[in-house]
Copies of this chain bind each other. A is one copy, B any other.
Amino acid sequence: MPHAAPAELPASITRRARAGRTAMQARRGASSGRDANPLHVPYITRGIPTHDLLSDEALDGIIATADRILAEIGIEFREDPETVRLFQQAGGKARDLGDDRWNLTFEPGLIRGLLATAPAEFTQHARNPARSVRIGGRSMVFAPAYGSPFVMDLDKGRRYGTIEDFRNLVKLAQSSPWLHHSGGTICEPTDVPVNKRHLDMVHAHIRYSDRAFLGSITAPERAEDSIEMCRILFGADFVDRNCVIMGNFNSTSPLVWDGVSTRGIRAYAAANQGSIHLPFLLGGAVSPLTMPGAIAQCLAESMVGCALTQLVRPGAPAILGSFLSSMSLRTGSPTFGTPEPALGSLVMGQIARRLNMPLRCAGNFSTSKLPDAQAMTQSMMSMMSAVNCGANFILHSAGFLDGLLSMSYEKMMLDMDLCGALHAWLRGLEVNEDTLAFEALAEKGPGEHLFGCAHTLRHYQTAYWDSALDDNDTHETWSEAGGVDAMTRANRAWKETLATYEAPPLDPAIDGALCDFIARRKAAMPDAWY
Contacts and interface: CB of A to CB of B under 8 A. Distances in A.
B460 A428 contact: no
Contacts of A254: 441, 446-450
Interface stretch (A130-138, A469-477, A513-521): A469-477
A420 to B, nearest CB: 9
A422 B339 contact: yes
Nearest to A366: B470
A259 to B, nearest CB: 14
Given A339-B421, A446-B76, A463-B329, A470 B290 contact: no
Contact of A7 (B7, B146, B487): B146
A256 interface: yes
A353 B78 CA distance: 54
Contact of A428 (B73, B343, B437): B343
Contact of A460 (B1, B289, B334): B289
Nearest to A290: B435
Contacts of A5: 149, 405
B372 A380 contact: no
Contacts of A9: 147, 280, 282, 334, 403-405
Among A255, A334, A343, max chain B CB count under 10 A is at A343
B446 A75 contact: yes
A124 interface: no
Interface residues of A, number: 160
Interface in A231-254: 248, 250, 252, 254
Contact of A103 (B369, B375, B446): B446
A52 B328 CA distance: 32
B6 A149 contact: yes
A280 B451 CA distance: 16
Contact of A486 (B284, B373, B441): B373
Contact of A13 (B1, B285, B434): B285
Given A369-B471, A469-B374, A255 B436 contact: no
Interface in A169-194: 185, 188, 190
Interface stretch (A54-62, A83-91, A110-118, A493-501): A54-62
7 contacts: A6-B188, A6-B405, A296-B438, A342-B425, A368-B470, A371-B373, A381-B425
Across the A-B interface, give the 7 residue pairs with the lowest CB-CB distance, nearest first: A21-B332, A293-B437, A7-B147, A380-B380, A288-B437, A255-B446, A289-B463
